[in-house]
Amino acid sequence: MRCRHCSASLEHTFLDLGFAPPSNAYLTREDLASPEKYYPLKIKVCDQCWLVQTEDYAQAVELFSPDYAYFSSTSTGWLAHAARYVEKVTQQLQLTQDSLVIEVASNDGYLLKNFLAAGIPCLGIEPTASTAAAAENLGIPVMREFFGEKLGKQLAATGKLADLIAGNNVYAHVPDINDFTRGMKAALKPGGSITLEFPHLMRLIEHTQFDTVYHEHFSYLSLYAVDRIFKAADLRVWDVEELSTHGGSLRIYGCHSEDVRRTSPAVSALLVEEARRGLQTLATYQHFQARADRVKDDLLAFLIEQKRAGKKVAAYGAAAKGNTLLNYAGVKPDLLPFVCDAAAAKQGKFMPGSHIPILSPAALSEYRPDYLVILPWNIAAEVRQQNARLVELSTKFVTAVPKLEVA
């Protein structure tokens, strides 16, 4: 395999999680009687441009199917984050009723509904029918397509040049990152801005967030790699913010390379910090596997210990990161009888690979677990708050990443 950005030969493995099904391929009861697709889940690092990336096995059309089950609006914290972003960027870029906002991977309209309410014209690009329909029900216009250079040029040819192109947690999900970036270049108005949010590779390494590795994430991004990819498409990163979302993310601001705006000192400062942390040094990537194995082993030992002690354990959050962790650890319903999730689209289904049933959070009150394992550790505080009543039942909350903690 060659690097998705610079085409250099990929010789170095960053992380090998064996074989796993796609993390958002939730199963119905009928599906349990059929064979399940597994793909290698191995992450490589390019020693030329330092883009970290999955090996090419799964195809995007298989990963992002019409019944895709991830709905952004399920998390109240994420909804609040989106609303704050819209308020900030509207003022910062002076967006008006004469502007156009395009969101790539607009999901269920969680973000664009804020622009709609403010009277700012918007357009969603979303290939998954299940989430696109939810956005359309809010009155948001949606193009049900995958985004790339062809679609970007098509938008430009029909006069749909964007004052703002937004992409939250999509940049890591595209198999051809160069084509996607050229698409943004084509659809961006002169003087327009791009904002992309994505988990920061530096934080993934720092906090051993190996469970954020799954097939839907084709790339694991540093500012250094993104800066190179933007320059190759005749774009420029002119500002960057560090965010707390998803365990540590970046929000980068991009523009055409000839744009008159000056590049913020924050860009060079973070590039220096990434270099200091070894993100352009092979040793940083070669020592990560052992740290991931320690997290996996500690969780498995904890679950076995509770089973032998006769304790009741359940989990909360049928998130993709949870599927990565459970499948790598080999956890099945004998150790974890069910997972609760607030998303109605997941309830009544089963976790891919582990086949653990997904129930409504209402099941917790009846089950009264001794321990509740919070799989989406990035919203652990929100989950604890929503399930505060369990504390009165003596339930303890458990997170496995970056290390096993029982609270």
* Chain segment 284-338, per-residue pLDDT in tens: 999 999 999 999 999 999 999 999 999 999 999 999 999 999 999 999 999 999 9
pLDDT above 60: residue 254: yes
Fill in the DSSP letter of residue 159: T
pLDDT above 70: residue 276: yes
Report the pLDDT value the prediction gives residue 224, as an integer from 0 to 100: 98
Q: What is the pLDDT confidence band of residue 126, given thresholds at 50, 70 and 90?
A: very high
Count other C-beta atoms under 10 Å from residue 312's C-beta.
14
Q: Counting beta carbons within 10 angstroms of the beta carbon of residue 272, is it exposed (0 to 12), middle (13 to 18) or buried (19 or more)?
A: exposed
CA–CA distance, 287 with 280 (Å, rounded to integer): 14
Look at residue 276 and give its three-state secondary structure.
helix
pLDDT above 60: residue 65: no
pLDDT above 90: residue 67: no
Count other C-beta atoms under 10 Å from residue 365's C-beta.
11
Tokens of 397: 């909350």
For residues 104-120, give the mean pLDDT. 96
- Average pLDDT of the chain, as a whole number: 94
Q: What is the pLDDT confidence band of residue 78, given thresholds at 50, 70 and 90?
A: confident
pLDDT in tens, 135-184: 999 999 999 999 999 999 999 999 999 999 999 999 999 999 999 999 99
Query: Helix, strand, coil % (nearest 5) of the chain?
Result: 40, 25, 40
Q: What is the pLDDT confidence band of residue 221, given thresholds at 50, 70 and 90?
A: very high
pLDDT above 70: residue 59: no
Fill in the DSSP letter of residue 44: E
Question: What are the beta bridge partners of residue 12?
Answer: 45
pTM of the full predicted structure? 0.91
For residues 28-40, give the mean pLDDT. 95
For residues 362-391, give the mean pLDDT. 94
Q: What domains appear along the chain, each with residue ranges and CATH number? A: 146-285 (3.40.50.150), 290-406 (3.40.50.720)
Report the pLDDT value the prediction gives residue 256, as an integer from 0 to 100: 98
Report the pLDDT value the prediction gives residue 60, as an integer from 0 to 100: 52
Residue/partner pairs of 60-66 with CB below 8 Å, 24 or more apart: 60/146, 60/174, 60/175, 62/22, 62/37, 63/22, 63/24, 63/25, 63/215, 63/216, 64/127, 64/128, 64/146, 64/173, 64/216, 65/25, 65/128, 66/128, 66/129, 66/130
Report the pLDDT value the prediction gives residue 192, as an integer from 0 to 100: 98
Residue/partner pairs of 139-145 with CB below 8 Å, 24 or more apart: 140/106, 140/109, 140/112, 140/113, 140/116, 142/106
Report the pLDDT value the prediction gives residue 58, as an integer from 0 to 100: 55
| C-alpha count within 13 angstroms, C-beta hemisphere, residue 26 | 26
For residues 215-239, give the mean pLDDT. 97
